[in-house]
Structures are given as C-alpha cells and as structure tokens.
Chain A
Amino acid sequence: MIAHADTIPPARHPLIAWILRWILTTNHKEIGTLYLCFSFLMFIAGGAMAMVFRLELAQPGLQYLGADFYNQMVTLHGLIMVFGAVMPAFVGLANWMIPLMIGAPDMALPRLNNFSFWILPFAFFMLLSSLFMQGGAPNFGWTLYAPLSTTYGPPSTDYLIFGVHLMGISSILGAINIIVTIFNLRAPGMTLMKMPLFVWTWLITAFLLIMVMPVLAGAVTMMLTDRHFGTSFFSAAGGGDPVMFQHVFWFFGHPEVYIMILPGFGIASQIIPTFARKKLFGYNSMVYATASIAFLSFIVWGHHMFTTGMPLVAELFFMYMTMLIAVPTGVKVFNWVATMWRGAMTFETPMLFAVGFVVMFTIGGFSGLMLAIVPADFQYHDTFFVVAHLHYVLYPGAIFAMMGAIYYWLPKWCGNMYNERLGKIHFWTAVFGLNLTFFPMHFAGLGGMPRRIVDYALPFADLNLVSSIGAGILGLTQFLFLYIVVDAVRGGSGKATGQVWDSAEGLEWTLPSPAPLHTFHKPPQVD
C-alpha cells in the first residue's frame, strides 16, 4: 500500500511497473491485500447472484427466471461465497496478520504465497465463464451431488471441476505456508501457548485444509472420470453408488464449514479482550476447544445424510457426535461472555461486530442442534430451515468476524482511522438486514418450504417478501462498507497511532501505523 521505489526496476512505464509489482510481489502484506480485494470482488459477485434469486423469490410464481437459471444462480452463489469470498478473505487476513502477530519478517514461503494467490483469479474466471456456455452454468447446488453432476450435469461442469482443482491447490499451498510459518518463524520467546488466538485458530484451520481439500479434489476427479472415462464410482448402473458421493463430499464438507468459522473464532478472541479491557478468559480452554472442534468435525459428516437411509446405529452415532460439538463450541461462547463480564466495555465498530458475532452465531448453533436431532431432521432436511441455519452461522459468523477484523486492523494497515459513525451505521443496518433476510427463513422451513426450488406455495409469500426486502438492504450495506474502507484508506477521520486501540495487546501494535512494508527484520523479544 506504500509505494516502495527500491522494489521497482527502473526505466519502465510507471503503470507497467505498478502492475508488475502487484503481480510479482512476494510481500506478505501486499499478498494479503490482494487476497482481501479479490475476496471482496467475489463477495459482490456472489451477492449479486443472491439479489437475482431473491428478486425472483419475492413473489410466488415465475417472474424473471426459469427454473434452470435459478438453479445456476443458487449453485454459483454457494460456490463463490464459500471458495471465493470467505476462504480467500481469511487467507488474506492470515497473510497480513500472522507474521505481524508472531514477529516474523514475512511468510516462510513467499514465492509459493504469490503463486497460491494468482491461481485464484484463473479458477474463478473458469467457474464464472460457465455462465456463458452452451447448456448454462452448473445447476446442481454447491454440494455437487451425483448423479445430477455426473449423468445430468451440463457440459460446463468440467470447467467447474477444473476450477475446484485450482482452488484446492491454492488453499492447500496457502495452508502449508501458514503452518510452516507458524512452526518456524516465531520470534524468540513466542511459545505456542503464547500465540494470539487468531494464530492458533488459523494453525488448526490450516491442518483441516490439508486434510480435506485433497478429498474434495478426489471427489471431483471421480466425477470427471464418471463423466468422461467410463468409470462408475457414483453410477448404480455400473456397480457404483451415488450415495457414496455424499459420503465423500461431506467428509470434506463438514470440516469445510469449520474452516470457514475457526478463523472467525480467533478474530472474536482478539477483539473482545481489547474492548472489554480484560485478558481473554480461559486462553488454554480456548485452544483445546478449537482443537477438539477440529477433531470432532471429522466424525459428524453423516448429519447431512440422515435421510439417505442409514442404519439406525449410524444415525445415532452421528447425532451424538454432532451434539458433542456443541460442548466445545459452548465453552468458547462461555469464555467470550466471561471476558466481557464486568469488563470496562466500549462499543467501537469492531466490538459491535464481535458481539454481534457471538450473539447471532449462537442462534445458528441452536438451529444446528435442532437439525442434529435425527427425527426432527427428517422434517427439516432440504427445507429453508437448513438455509436459515447455515446463513446464521456463516453471515454473522464468518462475514461479521471478517468485517470486525477489517475495522479492527484497518488503521494498522492504512494508517488512518475509519469513520466511526459510519461504521456504527454499517453495523446496525447489517444486523437489521441480516435478521430480516434470514430469520423468516426459519419459519418458512418449519412450514415445509423446500430449498433450491424456484417457486413456492402461496402461504410462504409474506415470509419470502420480507426475506427479499432484507436481502436488498443487506446488499446495499456492502457498498456502505466499501465506502468506509476506501474513505479510511484515503485519509478517513485522521491518522491512527501505532497503538490504535488503547488496550490492545500483541506485537502488531508495537509497530507504527501504517505498518511499514518490511517489519520485524530483527525479531522482537517476547517475554
């Protein structure tokens, strides 16, 4: 973000030099910025698709879209938000903050870092180009269930498969880099149990990524060979089994949902102590809770498949394991609340987002528990209740955490304070829009409105209209957010100090704001 004359080869057109600098950069801060900008772009793209299908759903009947295009929109929305928005945003944050938090000069593998980022634009170009292909974009949901994606998938499915391979490679390389950095580049005295929680949660997330992204790659590879090379992994006619796709997918899929939330847990654990002006309550239990959540996430995948005709014992096993996850999750929520308890709290924008995260993520946790009850899930499965659940854990979870993180660290990145008043307005409109959008979906789902269908029965009309209005508001808040960030980068409401927040702790606050391009060349001493 700061022009560095010494890195630019002389005698080139300044524009070309500028472009080359961003393409070739191996600096963790610049790559972090690239990731964050890219993920915001994807967030807007995925959001635009949501606007399209919410418009269609505002009224019963078919107004603007056909069923097939509706399904394409839903599919791409899911894939882009998961792989294009949430995951790269967290990787960008990791790039920016992990070296600063552990006192490292850069990531351990800077060139690999550059490579993992630049794979992504190609992956998403490929995925989005499927919209313009004959037969349309993939239309079988982000879960890619066979045989919809094999026998009945449109030709563009192959581009999706290749795109998923690329995204997988990108995340795996990013994860390797993060682990190697954390294990090798910590400043002297920064023992594992002194690491900030954001670093801890990312370390565990990176292990999850290495364990499950290859499994997704394997699943889509089997899809590819089923489609073109005569194998029958998922085709009953050839001795395969379509249900097996679901097993392989959810073996990846459930850890994946924790990949999208663990860094958010870390962020909340950084922000809340700062604004409660107290040490985080139960640091050790936070670390162990995160590790046990990660471990348990590998043995609960069956809760997505209760209705596929599993034997009763398997249903019971997955039900109890799923409910068990609520225990470490509960420990975390308890610790956050205990940190706030009797703290000298103030509610600057990052804190608002963190508190909003805790409250509304918990609502999503509760609906998750309802879904985990086998007999109840037979009623809720594939209805909007599931949609309500997943958006309560992902929007106030992953997205709010991310936005809180940006408000929290932006002054460190660009050296200016953002406009606090606008930040608060952003928070409250987002809370309003989000609850207006997703809360009615609980009732629609309980009433039996199925998900992934372009039309619905008349009794759901009012609920859907409310959801669509909420979605519109939520969509608009993104532009307010963009404005606040751009405004802060261009001066905002004044220069930030190095400390930024008076009681923030951690190595990143010992640096000046904006953080210089190169930091911690001499490792700091941590005691």
Chain B
Amino acid sequence: MTDRQTDRQARLRRHTTLLAVAAVGMFGFAFALVPLYNIFCEITGLNGKTSGEAAPMAVSAPASQTAQDAVEREVTIQFLSQVSRGMPWEFRPTESRMRVRLGEVAETQYYARNFANKLFTGQAVPSVTPGYAARYLHKVECFCFTQQHLEASEEIDMPVYFYVGEDLPSDIGTLTLSYTMYPVSSAARETSGAAEQTTETMPMDHSEHSVP
C-alpha cells in the first residue's frame, strides 16, 4: 500500500469510529431524556404531576395589601376519579366541587370500596389540570401518599387536606384534581411486604380493546 492509501485507511477508520460512538451516544441520550423530562416537568409543572410529599401548613398572616387581596380570592376545585381498567374497586370523590379561599386549608373525602372477595391493594396517582397549576396545589395530607389495603368488601372514606398557594396566577379560576386508582403492580409489591400473598397484578387482556 502506498502512503496515501494507508493515510486514507486511517482516516476512514477514524470517521467510522466517531460516527459509531455518536450513534451509541444518541442511544444513551434517549434514556437521558427520561430524567431530563422529569426535571423539566417538575420545574414547569408540564405534566400536571403534584409533589409526592406532604406540604407544610400554609403560613398565613399576609404581609402586604396585595397579598391581602390574594387571600380574598376564591377558586373552584373540581374532583375527579378513575379506576384502572379491570380493577374491582369503586372509587369516587364524595363531593364533585368546592370553592376554596387561597391559602386556606380545605378538606375533602374520597370513597373507596373493594368488590373483590380478598384483600386488594391500590395506589392512587394524582394529576392536576391545567398542568402548570400543579405546583400551586399543596397537599398537606393525602391518601395518595400511601397504598390502600382493602379487605374483601371493605369500604373507606379517605381524606385529602390541601390548600391552594396564594401565588396562584390570576388567570386560573378552576383547578381539577384527578386521581387514578391503580392496582399495585408486582414490581411495587416486592417493596411492600404486607401485600405479599394477596394482591395481584391485573391480568393483561388483549381480546377486547380496540381502537388506539
């Protein structure tokens, strides 16, 4: 081989390696999108996820006149519920809407009942609409912070204590708080010993669903 050819061979190999590394890097980037997305959503409230932890009680005693005005503001909160497909529970809010004053702690109840003839564990996942309002809705206490273990035919009322931040943007007049009740999956079960022999992942059912 002449010098020029070996030169070219080396350049070829270098380019090929670089491009292959770029492709592998992009594969990694796809996974990096997951934490990036979550951080982005947390900052912007993009996906309506609320904080998974209890908020401290609101500090009242408004400092200024503008804050005073804000305290006078009321918003409507709507409550929704959904039960995961095939889960043998009834799950619904006890009241569908209420008016709350900004900064004031309010209470509401969700009702749940297990129709199955054995213990069944569920986990409620909250979501707020509009999404960017999620960070103004502070839950002081919520059944969604823990799993719910219901015996056969057991029913309970589950309280939520929350307040809406005084800094809620003025264009939001109505907030919707929605909970979806999911059966606790096998992955989650490993970490919660209590539910060991009784909970079940819902069997996947391919026969009846149709349209994407």
| CB-nearest residue of chain B to A251 | B33
Q: Is A7 an interface residue (CB 8 A)?
A: no
Closest-CB distance, B29 to chain A (whole angstroms): 7
B8 at the interface (CB under 8 A from A): yes
Instruction: Assess A176 versus B16: contact at CB under 8 Å? Given A230-B185, A236-B180, A310-B46.
Output: yes
Q: Mark A362-398 against chain B: 1 for CB-CB distance below 8 A, else 0.
A: 0000000000000000000000000000000000000
Q: Judge if A232 is at the interface, Cβ distance under 8 Å.
A: yes
Q: A71-B210, A211-B26 are in contact. Are A230 and B46 (CB under 8 A)?
A: no
Residue of B nearest to A183 (CB): B15
Query: Within the assembled complex, what's the spacing in Å between the Cα atoms of A210 and B24?
Result: 9
Which residues of chain A are within 8 angstroms of B16 by Cβ–Cβ distance? Answer: 108-109, 176, 180
- Is A424 an interface residue when CB atoms closer than 8 A count as contact? no
Assess the B26–A151 pair: CB atoms within 8 A: no
Report if A237 contacts B (CB, 8 A).
yes
Contacts of B84 in A (CB 8 A): 237
Chain B 13-50 interface 0/1 with A at a Cβ cutoff of 8 Å (1 = within): 00110011011111111110110011001001011110
Q: Size class of B's contact patch?
A: 35 or more
B131 on the interface (CB 8 Å rule)? yes
Complex partner residue of A176 from B19, B48, B185, CB under 8 angstroms: B19
Contact with B along A127-144 (1 / 0, CB 8 A): 000000001000111000
Q: Is A260's beta carbon under 8 Å from chain B?
A: no
Docked pose: A67 CA to B206 CA in angstroms? 13
Q: How large is the interface on A (under 10, 10 to 19, 20 to 34, 35 or more residues)?
A: 35 or more
Q: Which residues from B are CB-within-8-Å of A214?
A: 23-27, 29-30
Q: Is the CB of A180 within 8 A of B12?
A: yes
Stretch of B53-61, B65-73, B122-130 at the chain-chain interface = B122-130
B182 within 8 A of A: yes
Nearest-neighbour CB distance to chain A for B134, whole angstroms, equals 11
Residues of B near any A CB (own CB < 8 A): 8, 11-12, 15-16, 19-20, 22-31, 33-34, 37-38, 41, 44, 46-49, 84, 123, 125, 127, 129-132, 180, 182-183, 185-188, 204, 206, 209-212
The 7 closest A-B CB pairs, nearest first, are: A218-B30, A237-B182, A230-B187, A214-B26, A214-B27, A67-B210, A215-B30
Q: List 7 A-B pairs, Cβ < 8 Å.
A: A135-B206, A139-B212, A180-B12, A218-B26, A236-B180, A237-B183, A248-B33
